[in-house]
Amino acid sequence: MPAVTIRYWAAAKSAAGTAEEPCTAATLAEALDTVRERHPGELTRVLQRCSFLIDGDPVGTRGHETVRLAEGGTVEVLPPFAGG
């Protein structure tokens, strides 16, 4: 199974209590299940509103179980941003 880095931004970083952490998962769905187990509570709620980048590419509306992760890759967790 690929080893990846999960990077948290803004509210996700605060809820996880860390800026990044390692994870071993074959798909985005597996990676998200792992981080929900590690950080139950607020992060689980924040993840429901997040968008994700995999190695710089947006996941968009693809099913998380279909998004494959590559060895050494990065999952960026991006909460909605306020702004105008």
Residue-wise pLDDT tens digits, 30-72: 999 999 999 999 999 999 999 999 999 999 999 999 999 999 9
Whole-model pTM: value is 0.93
**Which pLDDT band, with edges at 50, 70 and 90, does 81 fall under?**
confident
Q: Does the structure show a pLDDT above 50 at 21?
A: yes
Token readout for 47 is: 């993840």
**Looking at residue 84, what is its pLDDT?**
46
Q: How far is CA 69 from the centre of its chain?
A: 11
Beta strands of 1-84 (E only): which ranges? 3-8, 20-24, 51-54, 57-58, 74-78
What confidence score (pLDDT) does residue 28 get? 98
In the chain the domains, ranked by start, together with CATH numbers, are 3-78 (3.10.20.30)
